[in-house]
Amino acid sequence: MEGVDVVGDATQTETLAAAGIDDAQTVILALPDDTTTEFATLVIRDTAPDTEILARIQNDANISKTYRAGADYVLSLSTVTGRMSASFLLEDRDTVAMKQQVEVISTTTPALVGQTMAETDIRERTGCTVLAVRRGDTTVTEIGPNTEIREGDELLVVGADDGVHEFERLFT
């Protein structure tokens, strides 16, 4: 299954089964309240222990509780909104960061021009993942080991804050 939309209670195993939780690589929780998000995280972690869980919360005070419930990534709506607003104002660098957890940047990488993704070894060297390549008016999302980085390409990269800083130090 690729991208499943299911309407139901995310805290109920029946709903999760209907959504194909057993085969899911990632679950994104964007629920209306933090208590439900924390409980759904517990249920998903118990039902599918290897599934990656990204949880959006409303209140920064609940970040640590949601991590303890089993989320791999926790996004605070106020933090993300604040960072996006700052990014919009700064405009020289597109950044969305989640309180020292995950950062997404869009940047050119002159040091990598002419190399394939396999040759760059970005993941091993920095822990970051290339999500897409902006090439002129086109966005390439099917990134494979043979994808070559060209002059003017912008890479959309995600990773932990320290990994992104290492990526920038090595490649930009």
CA dihedral 149, 150, 152, 154 (to 10 degrees): -20
Interval 105-139: pLDDT, tens: 889 999 999 999 999 999 889 988 888 899 988 88
pTM of the model: 0.50
In this model, does residue 98 exceed pLDDT 50?
Answer: no
- pLDDT, tens digit (0-9, with 9 covering 90-100), for 28-45: 898 889 999 999 999 999
Which is more confident, 131 or 1? 131
- At 165 the three-state DSSP class reads helix
Mean pLDDT in the chain?
Answer: 85
* pLDDT of residue 84 exceeding 80: no
Tell me how far CA of residue 47 lies from CA of 15, 53, 69, 71, in angstroms: 12, 12, 13, 13
Confidence of residue 80 (pLDDT cuts 50, 70, 90): low
Amino acid at 147: T
Of residues 158 and 65, which shows the higher confidence score? 65
107 C-beta neighbours (distance < 10 Å), count? 19
87 pLDDT tier (thresholds 50, 70, 90): low
48 with 71: CB under 8 angstroms? no
Local confidence band at 83 (pLDDT 50, 70, 90 cut-offs): low
Please state which CATH class domain 102-171 belongs to. Answer: alpha beta
Whether 13-78 shares its CATH topology with 102-171 is answered no
Structural domain spans, the chain: 13-78, 102-171
Q: What is the rounded CA–CA span in Å between residue 103 and residue 136?
A: 23
CATH number of 13-78: 3.40.50.720
User: Does 48 have pLDDT greater than 80?
Assistant: yes
Q: Where do we find the tokens 């008016």? A: 137
What residues form DSSP beta bridges with 129? Answer: 158
Assess contact for 53 and 45: CB atoms under 8 A: yes
Distance between CA atoms of residues 13 and 9, nearest Å: 9
Residue located via tokens 């089993």: 70
